[in-house]
Structure formats: structure tokens, C-alpha cells
Amino acid sequence: MKLSMYDAAVPVSIRAMNNLAVILEKAAAHAEARKIDPAVLIQGRLFPDMFPLARQVQVASDTAKYGPARLAGAEAPAYEDNETSFADLVGRVRRTVAYLETLPKAAFEGAEDRTVTWQARGKSRSMQAMPYLFNHVLPNIYFHVTTAYAILRHNGVELGKADYLGPM
């Protein structure tokens, strides 16, 4: 069976986002149960020069929606990056999943032969679609979801590998 670009991009991104939503919901419950100001966790970082939790979630969400959209030749919705609560962050992640669920498998036919161009840090970048997905999109999703997990775990949220991996 041949692996399609759709199968490599969309279900994988949806899974990562769904698992991130569960992690964030556990963090919200943790903060409430322990009477911790949620802002402490939402602005938490692993190191001063790293993004805080909120930005990690925003970048994971953006990568999860823009990556597959570019492969499909679609226009992903832009979000404002104004989330200040766990409910806001979970809502963003859930909107990302809802968007990904609208991408038709047919739009990915022939995607492996496309060149993807995007803007990053004020520069235009281009890559062939397959290396873009496997060397840029998926590693970035995993990096930011993992970092969000690590920030919360570092701050005492009771999470484990099963939370990161999600249901099998």
C-alpha cells in the first residue's frame, strides 16, 4: 500500500493536535485543583530564551494547519495569537483540528511533485513537498507539542508518555 501525502500529513497532524488538547485540559484541571494561577503555566518556559507555553501551542497549531494546507494548495485560516487561558488554547487547537478535517484527500493527489513556498522570518522559502512535510512540518509539530508537554510536566502537571502519544 502506498502512503499518500494526505495520510502522512492530515491524520498525523490531527492526532498531535488532539493529544495536545488533552494535555492542555489536564493542565487546566491541575491548576484549578491546586489553586495555581493558570497564567503561571500559560506563560511558563523551559528556559528564558524559549517561547512560553502559549506560544508553543500557537506555533504547533499554525504548523499543523498551514503545512497540510500548503500541500493541498488550500488557504488555511489565520488566528490572532491572542490566547490567554487554557480554554482559549484548547479552543484554538480544536479549531485547528476542525480545519484539518475539511481538507479533502483528493486535494493532495500529486502533492509530492509540488514545490511549497512560504514566508518565514521575513524570507521566502521553498522546498519540494515531500521534504517539506517530513523535514519541516512534522518535526516542527512534534517539537512544539513536546515542548508544551515538557513545560507543563516541568511545572508539576501529572502527565505521562501516554498523554503525549494518545490513544492507540
Q: Note the pLDDT of residue 29.
A: 98
Burial state string for 121-132 with b = 16 or more CB within 10 A and e = fewer than 16:
eeeeeebebbeb
Size of the chain, expressed as the number of residues it contains: 168
Q: Mean pLDDT for each consecutive 10-residue tract of the chain (168 residues)?
A: 91 98 98 98 97 98 98 96 98 98 96 91 93 97 98 97 92
* Degrees to nearest 5, angle at CA 131 with 128 and 134: 145
User: Nearest-CA neighbor of 156 among 16, 29, 57?
Assistant: 29
Q: How many C-beta atoms surround the C-beta of residue 150 within 10 A?
A: 17
Q: Note the pLDDT of residue 97.
A: 98
Structural domains present in the chain: 5-159 (1.20.120.450)
CA distances from 142 to 19, 29, 36, 101 (A): 11, 23, 27, 19
Cell numbers describing residue 41: 503555566
Three-state DSSP string of 95-123? HHHHHHCCCCHHHHCCHHHCEEEEEECCE
> Whole-prediction pTM value?
0.96
Q: Note the pLDDT of residue 119.
A: 87
Cell numbers describing residue 156: 508539576
Q: Note the pLDDT of residue 41.
A: 98
Q: Note the pLDDT of residue 43.
A: 98
Phi and psi of 13, rounded to 5°? -65, -40
Q: Note the pLDDT of residue 1.
A: 63
Q: Are residues 127 and 116 in contact, defined by beta-carbon separation less than 8 angstroms?
A: yes
Q: Note the pLDDT of residue 15.
A: 98
DSSP letter string, 122-152: TEEEEEEHHHIIIIIIHHHHHHHHHHHHHHH
